[in-house]
Amino acid sequence: MSKLEAIEPQAVIRNFEKISAIPRCSGSEKEISDFLVQFAKDLGYEAYQDKAWNVVIKKPASEGYENIDPVILQGHMDMVCEKNKATVHDFSKDPIQLVVDGNILRASGTTLGADDGIAVAYCMAILEDKNLPHPPLEILITTQEETGLVGAMKLEGEKLTGKTLINIDGEEEGVFLVSCAGGVRTKLILPLKKKKSKTDEITMELSITGLRGGHSGGDIHKGRGNANKLMGRLLYELKRTVKFNLYALEGGAKMNAIPRECSAILGFKKANIEKAKELVESLEKKITAEFKKTDPDFKILFDEVNELPKGKTLPLKKSAKNKIIHLLLNIPNGINSMSQDIEGLVESSNNLGVITFEGDKILFENSTRSSVESKKIEINRKLEELANYTGCDFENDSDYPGWKYREDSRLREHMKKVYQDLFGKEPIVEAIHAGLECGLFLDVIRDDLDMIAIGPNMHDVHTPDEHLELDSAGRVYSFLIETLKRMKEM
């Protein structure tokens, strides 16, 4: 605790520590939402909470700033809840265990939640500061951003009157985000049929582990391995070589995170075990060589199972097994197209994020992103056609728009000047492939809203390796409050 208390800006770190003690996984935000409302009321501010648990807090202008239009400061309260397999942690009640390592803040075996807890901590510090010069502020903290911008979709926009919005969900200091991809989430749901088990079978667990994972938008261009797709490759090669039964398959944890782990339970005749082991060992060597730079800790485990999991004691019929393997091989994954307008920008992609085995069905959950609507539709139709071909039910969820670049942004030009004056260099202005809520705010708040997105240096978000650079968090906070202080110049 003493290490945290000594870190500047103290108000930001203190408040980040407070919210890290409150459960806030996507879809379970009531407790953190109630906390933020009470926090605002204790300071004497107006606070609103809607049915989706979004929170709006209004702080009046400081003296001399009363005639400036309100500025909206925005972030999201939810976090991606991922942990290492060996980590004992219950996200529904256990506080995030913060670890200070020099200039780095991380968590012990879990995601840190700086995405986007740092925005919440910034806003709390600004609300507490009675001496900060600023225009009228409207603090907007949304819910379920990580599961498809659900809170932003349900936002009651009439509570907000600001014409400018600073989104604090960026992950790179000195980079001003001015455009982002839209997206849609899809599920392919395959009904399963089972058969009687072979009494002479040896059951084996095939596991992929050690992959780095990452954000399915911000890291999709890095070529990291997708555990679900690699499992498809393993199962296909096994099917070509040796007979086996499939009992269970699970992979990934979040639709918008590149899956780090996947496991399958397979049944073999005793005579085929050694042949299967030889093939798995050969494939491990090949895949290790392919991903030696991006995923140096990649491993395949292939061990005998003494007892089958409850509800997974019967193998699938051959037709169901073959359909699963077909889907794993053919569901599009990774980059689909690159932008022709912005060099180096991923235009469209798909992430096969989660595979869930539920009784008599198996779910394949995807996150599709695109800055071009027609490309998003193209990927969506590929998935739908695969679903039709294999007899899956097909569901679309959380379809959200992209955020188009605005050429006449007064906010962007103002913040560029403040940044250059403060740090002596030009900020980078760019579009990103990840999804932000800004596109939705044009629909639910006002269609001429002038917006920009910023944030401190964060790395490996959506994974247990997530970490925040503390000095960067301090500099970005200084820049944010200086931007507010100089809003008279805009």
Question: Could you tell me the CA-to-CA distances from 430 to 29, 215, 458 in Å, in that order?
Answer: 31, 18, 17
Q: What's the confidence (pLDDT) of residue 223? A: 95
Whether residue 106 contacts residue 99, with contact meaning beta carbons closer than 8 Å, is answered with yes
Give me the catalytic one of 78, 173, 261, 437.
78
Q: Could you report the per-residue pLDDT of 307-330, keeping only the tens digit for each? A: 888 777 889 999 999 999 999 999
Considering the candidates 145, 171, 172, 466, report the single residue annotated as catalytic.
145
Domains in the chain, please, with CATH? 2-181+402-489 (3.40.630.10), 184-399 (3.30.70.360)
The whole-number pLDDT of residue 333 equals 97
pLDDT at 147: 85
pLDDT band at 2 (very low <50, low <70, confident <90, very high): low
* pTM reported for the whole predicted model: 0.80
Q: Is 421 a catalytic residue?
A: no
Between 2 and 168, the more confident residue is: 168
- Report the pLDDT averaged over residues 141-165: 94
Residue 99 DSSP SS3: strand
- Residue 314 is classified by DSSP as S
Looking at the chain, the whole-number percentage of residues with pLDDT higher than 70 is: 99
**Per-residue pLDDT tens for 330-360?**
999 999 999 988 888 999 999 999 999 988 9
Alpha helices in 245-348 (DSSP H): 273-290, 318-330
What's residue 342's pLDDT?
82
Nearest one of 105, 107, 86, 104 to 96, comparing CA atoms: 107
pLDDT (mean) for 206-227: 94
pLDDT, residue 446, reads 95
- Tally helices (H) and strands (E) across the chain: 12, 23
Q: Is the pLDDT of residue 1 over 50?
A: no
- Structure tokens belonging to residue 468: 């925040």
CB count within 10 Å of CB 267 equals 20
Does the active-site annotation cover 145? yes
User: Listing from the earlier edge strand, what are the strands of the sheet with 175-180?
Assistant: 46-49, 55-59, 137-142, 71-76, 164-167, 450-453, 175-180, 428-432
Q: In DSSP terms, which residues pair with 366 in a beta bridge?
A: 186, 352
